[in-house]
């Protein structure tokens, strides 16, 4: 499991040892969830749960692993969200990593075998396909980011308890994990960046499930939580923003793979202490530590010790912000990269490449 490292526990549970509806239609936010019979208007969480729970599934997986004792079978589970009525389901990449068999369990109690259409560990998004039509596709709120403090409802299958509903708020946006929490794993750091933080309870089995606003729109795909035993803090859950999820899902459905834009730099976070130590004129951003020769950044004139502060006008306060901003673009796009060099701000036009494998 990708994020079952150090202090991070992914919301995936289990023993791993042994009609083609348009994406645009699926993404159209609703104004408010329908009013289910018998649920008062002053019970917004109950209304959200009734409206969205049919679109949330449980994902059951079997994993075959080679060990010194031979082939061992293991089982695991996670959650998923119905993306299109033709049978496409979004979940987390780590939920289906290494799976030999995948089954989707629906809210009505029925199950269907599923195939993995594609999986992208760099974003922690995977897409499944079941042979069923007219499914209740969820609505995704991808047009604007959530607001800190707004209501957030998590729906998934923690420990196999299907359609479990928990309530909280959006605690923060644009969160990313520091390297020490991912044991320096660069892939994990990139996947766990630009996240929505919530205090709605997320537990093993919630991975791939829904984080929903009060209007019944998916604002995020739940991906991880940090156990209280590791930090002393409680209710630290995280979700992949809806716009990232649907961008990756559309690519996986169309081609089975994701082309990731590549800037060609290795960066580190700038904070006030780093700024003072290096005598920088800004106290936030992504400090360029290395520039890949021949990359778009190199050709555009990016230099070591430049501080990246924006990409196409989107603020970059950390390396996680930079990863998140790049997800909105494709290889071959030219973007304006704002850097601070020697106390002066300048904008460089960078043509993005394609991220090499194992980078």
pLDDT over 90, % of the chain: 61
Name the token pair of 121. 């560990």
Provide the terminal-to-terminal Cα distance of the chain, rounded to the nearest Å.
19
pTM of the model: 0.80
Give me the helices (H) in the chain, please. 23-27, 44-52, 93-96, 186-191, 228-231, 242-255, 272-278, 296-300, 319-326
Name the token pair of 356. 């090499």
The predicted structure's pLDDT at residue 221 = 98
Kindly tell me the burial class for residue 5, based on how many C-beta atoms sit within 10 Å of its own C-beta (0-12, 13-18, 19 or more).
middle
Structural domain boundaries of the chain? 1-258, 261-354
pLDDT, mean of residues 263-284: 90
**Helix/strand/coil (H/E/C) assignment for every residue in 89-114:** EEECHHHHCCEEEEEEECCCCCEEEE
Q: What is the DSSP letter of 356?
A: P
According to DSSP, the β-strands at 9-10 and 88-91 are unpaired
Question: Would the pLDDT of 277 be above 70?
Answer: yes
The predicted structure's pLDDT at residue 5 = 30
Please write the tens of the pLDDT for every residue from 3-57.
333 233 444 555 544 433 434 444 455 555 666 778 888 899 999 999 999 999 9
From 1-10, 49-58, 229-238, 287-296, the region with the lowest mean pLDDT: 1-10
Question: Would the pLDDT of 341 be above 60?
Answer: yes
Which carries the bigger pLDDT value, residue 5 or residue 328?
328
Q: What is the DSSP letter of 298?
A: H
Give me the helices (H) in 106-148, please. none
Distance CA 239, CA 132 (A): 27
The predicted structure's pLDDT at residue 23 = 44
User: Exposure pattern of 341-355 as b/e (b: 16+ CB <10 Å)?
Assistant: beeeeeebebebbeb
Question: What is the pLDDT confidence band of residue 336, given thresholds at 50, 70 and 90?
Answer: very high
Distance CA 82, CA 61 (A): 17
The predicted structure's pLDDT at residue 31 = 57
Question: What is the pLDDT confidence band of residue 294, given thresholds at 50, 70 and 90?
Answer: very high
Please write the tens of the pLDDT for every residue from 143-176.
788 999 999 999 999 999 999 999 999 999 988 7
Question: Would the pLDDT of 185 be above 80?
Answer: no
The predicted structure's pLDDT at residue 265 = 94
Which carries the bigger pLDDT value, residue 219 or residue 27?
219
Nearest CA to 239 out of 212, 204, 269 is that of: 212
The predicted structure's pLDDT at residue 24 = 40
Element (H, E) at 124: none
From 163-172, 214-223, 277-286, the region with the lowest mean pLDDT: 277-286
Do 151 and 169 contact (CB within 8 A), yes or no?
yes
Question: What is the pLDDT confidence band of residue 118, given thresholds at 50, 70 and 90?
Answer: very high
Sign of the four-CA dihedral 289, 293, 296, 297: positive
Distance CA 207, CA 119 (A): 14
Query: In the CATH scheme, what is the code of domain 1-258?
Result: 2.40.10.120
CB-facing half-sphere around the CA of 38: CA atoms within 13 A: 1
Distance CA 211, CA 234 (A): 18
Distance CA 186, CA 265 (A): 13
Do 85 and 29 contact (CB within 8 A), yes or no?
no
Distance CA 297, CA 284 (A): 20
Nearest CA to 221 out of 155, 268, 300 is that of: 155
Nearest CA to 94 out of 205, 175, 234 is that of: 205
Please write the tens of the pLDDT for every residue from 81-115.
999 999 999 999 999 998 999 999 999 999 999 99
Which carries the bigger pLDDT value, residue 7 or residue 298?
298
What size, in residues, is the chain?
Answer: 359
Asked: is 261-354 a CATH 3.40.50.300 domain? The reply is: no
The predicted structure's pLDDT at residue 328 = 81
């Amino acid at each position: 499991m990708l994020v079952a490292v150090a202090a991070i526990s992914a919301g995936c549970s289990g023993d791993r040892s042994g009609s083609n509806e348009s994406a645009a239609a699926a993404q159209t936010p609703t104004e408010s969830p329908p009013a289910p019979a018998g649920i008062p208007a002053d019970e917004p969480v109950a209304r959200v749960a009734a409206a969205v729970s049919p679109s949330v599934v449980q994902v059951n997986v079997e994993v075959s692993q080679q060990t010194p004792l031979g082939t061992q079978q293991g089982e695991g589970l996670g959650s998923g969200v119905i993306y299109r009525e033709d049978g496409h389901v979004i979940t987390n990449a780590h939920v289906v990593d290494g799976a030999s068999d995948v089954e989707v369990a629906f809210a009505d109690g029925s199950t269907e075998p599923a195939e993995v259409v594609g999986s992208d560990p760099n974003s922690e998004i995977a897409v499944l396909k079941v042979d069923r039509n007219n499914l209740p596709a969820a609505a995704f709120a991808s047009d604007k980011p959530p607001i800190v403090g707004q209501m957030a409802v998590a729906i998934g299958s923690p420990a196999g308890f299907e359609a479990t509903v928990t309530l909280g708020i959006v605690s923060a946006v644009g969160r990313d994990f520091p390297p020490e929490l991912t044991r320096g794993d660069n892939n994990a750091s990139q996947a766990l960046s630009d996240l929505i933080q919530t205090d709605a309870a997320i537990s093993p089995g919630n991975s791939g499930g829904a984080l929903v606003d009060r209007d019944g729109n998916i604002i995020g795909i739940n991906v991880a939580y940090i156990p209280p035993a590791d930090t002393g803090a409680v209710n630290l859950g995280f979700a992949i923003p809806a716009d990232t999820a649907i961008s990756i899902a559309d690519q996986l459905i169309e081609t089975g793979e994701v082309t990731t834009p590549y800037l060609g730099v290795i960066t580190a976070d700038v904070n006030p202490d780093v700024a003072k130590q290096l005598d920088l004129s800004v106290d936030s951003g992504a400090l360029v530590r290395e520039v890949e020769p021949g990359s778009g950044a190199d050709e555009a004139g990016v230099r070591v010790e430049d501080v990246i502060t924006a990409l196409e006008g989107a603020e970059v306060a950390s390396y996680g912000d930079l990863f998140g901003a790049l997800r909105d673009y494709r290889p071959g796009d030219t973007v304006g990269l704002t850097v601070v060099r020697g106390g002066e701000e300048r904008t460089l036009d960078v043509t993005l490449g394609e991220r090499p494998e194992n980078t």
